[in-house]
Amino acid sequence: MIKIYGIKNCDTMQKAFKWLDAKGLKYEFHDYKEKGIDKTTLELWLQHFPIDKLLNTKSTTYRALSDTEKASISSKTKAIALMMKYNSLIKRPVWDFGKGIFFLGWNEDEISRLV
């Protein structure tokens, strides 16, 4: 089963939900705004995505960070701590197709190839 991570009210997440529902695909949704996100999951994602891709540097949350916090992102440990503290920093959606197959963001053609 597909597991999709994100924030329920995000426009990109809404596209993903509509697409999944239209295809009749079963999925589990993890809203990290409500449930949070743990260090182990972030470490796993960072094995598949570089920090600068997983972190949404175009977000309002990112722009509100101090210069010190922004500079600390080059450290994996500090980036994880920031994403746990401000989970809206995480790009969405994060797709987990199982068997170690992950995808970040929204690209209908790429996702279609993975399901």
Tell me, what CATH number does 73's domain have?
A: 3.40.30.10
Residue whose pair of structure tokens reads 């450290």 in the numeric block:
75
Predicted pLDDT at 74: 86
Q: What is the mean pLDDT of each run of 10 residues along the chain (115 residues)?
A: 94 95 96 94 96 91 92 90 93 95 96 93
Q: How far apart are CA 69 and CA 55, in angstroms?
A: 13
Q: What is the pTM (predicted TM-score) of this model? A: 0.92
In the chain, the number of structural domains is 1
From the list 6, 8, 9, 10, the catalytic residue is: 10
Q: What is the dihedral of CA 6, 9, 13, 15, to 10 degrees?
A: 170
In the chain, at which residue ranges do the beta strands (DSSP E only) sit? 2-6, 27-31, 94-98, 101-104
DSSP 8-class letter at 55? B
| Residue 10 among the catalytic residues | yes
Predicted pLDDT at 80: 95
Predicted pLDDT at 72: 86
The range of the structural domain enclosing residue 84 comes to: 2-114
Predicted pLDDT at 4: 97
Sequence-distant (6+) residues with CB within 8 A of 58 are none
